[in-house]
Amino acid sequence: MGEQKKSTEKWWKSAVIYQIYPRSFADSNKDGIGDIQGIISRLDYLAHLGIDAIWLSPVCRSPQDDNGYDISDYQDIDPMFGNLEDMENLIREAGKRHIRIIMDLVLNHSSDEHFWFQEAKKGRDNPYHDYYVWRDGREGVLPNDMKAAFGGPAWQWVPEVEQYYFHQFSVKQPDLNWENPRLRQEIYDMVNWWVQKGVGGFRLDVIDQIAKEPDKKITNNGPRLHEFLRELSREAFQKADLVTVGEAWGADTELAKLYSNPDGSEMSMVFQFEHICLDQQEGKEKWDLSPLPFLKLKEVFGRWQKELYGRGWNSLFWNNHDLPRIVSRWGDDGKYREESAKMLAVLLHGMQGTPYIYQGEELGMTNAAYGIEEYRDIETLNLYQERLEKGYGKEDVMASIHARSRDNARTPMQWDESQNAGFSEGVPWIRVNPNYRQINAKSQIEDENSIFHCYKELIRLRKEYPVFVEGDFQMLLPEDENIFAYTRTLGDAQLLVVCNFYGKTLDYPFPVPKEPMQLLLGNYGGERDGMVLAPYEARIYFTPGKVKAPA
Ligand code: GLC
Ligand code: CA
């Protein structure tokens, strides 16, 4: 039954998820900020692309210190994005197009403007005090030397209670105390409330940091982490047919098998970053650039594919709202932008797991290289100050920012060649990448050879050929310095994916492909399957099994 689909499989195993960063996607009311009505107006575009679900970065009420990752009311929508009715409309309108909405749950911390925190800092005996992580101390004498991810110490003094609170991110993002059962119950109630509203799943922000133990300087992977996750899953996730994906910077394959245990006891899958952290200097920060070690990239992908086969589930991604644009990073955003963007798409979408497309990735959108005054991201702006103070040269710091700033991903979606790329008729909150006249959705929808159509085809193939979803992975040529090649096998059916990762011409490394092997997709047009691999060339061959490939 090689090619027959198992009906018991989870829907999200053959799904492709599209991430929307709401403030940069589509602005409906000319205030320069993307909003929910804007998203609704673009649902047909997403349906045309063929995606199954939208991961929506946070739209809940928030002072926007970290663009919504600082939530002050988990059960309301920020007026900047619309209101609850808009959200319900979005869920309904997306549903009509068979698209589910995945909410971004930020449960490691809240905003300091959340009612809980406002209460918590009133006094040590306030019922909400223990919802956060406090330590005694004296003003100016910090409990320890832990640092926050966005710069500065991880401790903030509150005179009213004469204590420090712990924050792994900005001062306006106090960490929640998961040790407190009442807090946990409030979280489950809130999650279930969203499930009632019809959301299709959740993405869990920095979920591996919830079980922190600051006295032992533990942030990721605290001792009680999986206990908390199983409770959350039992009390909320398992009550409906949801997709749940945890962001976990500290995951290895062993931990990933817990997170994505096929028994469903924790989450559907884990979003881990081992491959994406390879091009930075060892033991340093992402700003400390270093070339991509290509063989290592293959080793990492190969290991995750093998280890999780049948024992967990991978998320497949190059991009999100925190990462630079992949075509600028590991492709070529100049001469071979189209070829390399498609190659990267093919390489990723041929593997096992659930692929994620970050808005604009399907167009080959590129990094932006702005002057510092155009940047908006709190992490980037803090880094700039911090490094200048430490004596780094300005050019050096700007080179890091151009390569790695989160704002690379946050420039407005490029819809067409009209003013502001069709994103807004107002003044965009962040500058539009000036290359929108060459790179935009409208022109790519019209061009059947575009990057957009390559993504569309990859999504279609995943739905049509079960081997994309179920096939066993085998890395080929692990020592080849230029080629990324692998097979996927399901019964007698097989995919062969061959990618030239670089801009030089190479010999095709395998025997002449012949019947019944057929070229399913290539980035140099359907005809070409010669014995030479052009720059960034990518091909997917398919050999049908005994059961015919579905029509
Ligand atoms: C995650 C988010 C990031 C945010 C951080 C704090 O890493 O993806 O955007 O700044 O968590 O919530
Ligand atoms: Ca708006």
What average pLDDT does range 351-363 have in this prediction? Answer: 98
In this predicted structure, the answer to whether residue 529 has a pLDDT above a threshold of 70 is: no
Output the CA–CA distances (angstroms, integers) from residue 184 to 233, 242, 416, 435, in the order listed. Answer: 12, 20, 45, 46
521 CB under 6 A from ligand 1?
no
pLDDT at 234: 98
Q: What is the DSSP letter of 427?
A: -
Cα separation, 174 vs 190, in Å, equals 19
175 CB under 6 A from ligand 1?
no
In this predicted structure, the answer to whether residue 219 has a pLDDT above a threshold of 80 is: yes
Residue 528, amino acid? R
Atom of ligand 1 nearest to the CA of 109: 12
0.75 surpassed by pTM: yes
Cα separation, 511 vs 398, in Å, equals 47
Strands annotated E in 344-389: 354-358
Cα separation, 420 vs 369, in Å, equals 17
Cα separation, 47 vs 460, in Å, equals 12
Strands annotated E in 198-275: 201-204, 243-247, 269-271
Give tens-digit pLDDT for 229-257: 999 999 999 999 999 999 999 999 999 99
Using the mean position of ligand 2's atoms as its centre, give its distance from the Cα of residue 87 in Å: 14
Using a 10 angstrom Cβ sphere, with 0-12 exposed, 13-18 middle and 19 or more buried, the burial of residue 72 is: buried
Cα separation, 35 vs 68, in Å, equals 13
In this predicted structure, the answer to whether residue 551 has a pLDDT above a threshold of 80 is: no
Q: What is the DSSP letter of 550?
A: P
501 touches 467 (CB < 8 A): no
Task: Identify whether 247 is a catalytic site residue.
Answer: yes
Using the mean position of ligand 2's atoms as its centre, give its distance from the Cα of residue 73 in Å: 20
Which of 71, 322, 378 best tests ligand 1's pocket when mutated (most atoms within 8 Å of CB)? 322
* In the block, residue with structure tokens 């998820």: 17
pLDDT at 3: 42
Q: Who's near 95: CB < 8 A, 6+ residues apart?
A: 198
Give tens-digit pLDDT for 285-334: 999 999 999 999 999 999 999 999 999 999 999 999 999 999 999 999 99
pLDDT at 526: 61
pLDDT band at 50 (very low <50, low <70, confident <90, very high): very high
Coarse DSSP helix, strand, coil percentages of the chain, rounded to the nearest 5 percent = 35, 20, 50
pLDDT band at 547 (very low <50, low <70, confident <90, very high): low
pLDDT at 550: 52
In this predicted structure, the answer to whether residue 120 has a pLDDT above a threshold of 90 is: yes
Minimum-distance ligand to the CA of 68?
Answer: 1
The SS3 call for residue 344 is helix
What average pLDDT does range 147-153 have in this prediction? Answer: 95
Max CA distance (Å), the chain: 77
What average pLDDT does range 438-465 have in this prediction? Answer: 98
446: its two tokens: 């019209």
Residue 164: closest CA among 182, 144, 184, 178:
144
Q: Is the peptide bond before 214 cis (omega within 30 degrees of 0)?
A: no
188 touches 232 (CB < 8 A): yes
pLDDT band at 377 (very low <50, low <70, confident <90, very high): very high
Strands annotated E in 150-248: 155-158, 163-166, 201-204, 243-247
pLDDT band at 528 (very low <50, low <70, confident <90, very high): confident
Output the CA–CA distances (angstroms, integers) from residue 452 to 72, 341, 441, 456, in the order listed. Answer: 37, 10, 8, 6
Minimum-distance ligand to the CA of 65?
Answer: 1
Average pLDDT, the chain: 96
pLDDT at 7: 45
Give tens-digit pLDDT for 481-496: 999 999 999 999 999 9
430 touches 376 (CB < 8 A): yes
Q: How crowded is residue 362: how many other Cβ atoms within 10 Å of its Cβ?
A: 26
In this predicted structure, the answer to whether residue 422 has a pLDDT above a threshold of 50 is: yes
Q: What is the DSSP letter of 353?
A: S
Given the residues 247, 338, 339, 377, select the one marked as catalytic. 247
Residue whose CA is at the smallest distance from ligand 1 atom 12:
69
Q: What is the DSSP letter of 109?
A: B
pLDDT at 325: 98
Using the mean position of ligand 1's atoms as its centre, give its distance from the Cα of residue 205 in Å: 6
Residue 546, amino acid? K
Given the residues 3, 205, 279, 377, select the one marked as catalytic. 205
Cα separation, 480 vs 160, in Å, equals 62
Cα separation, 267 vs 335, in Å, equals 41
What average pLDDT does range 399-423 have in this prediction? Answer: 98
Residue 185, amino acid? Q
Task: Identify whether 205 is a catalytic site residue.
Answer: yes
Residue whose CA is at the smallest distance from ligand 1 atom 7:
206
Using the mean position of ligand 1's atoms as its centre, give its distance from the Cα of residue 73 in Å: 17
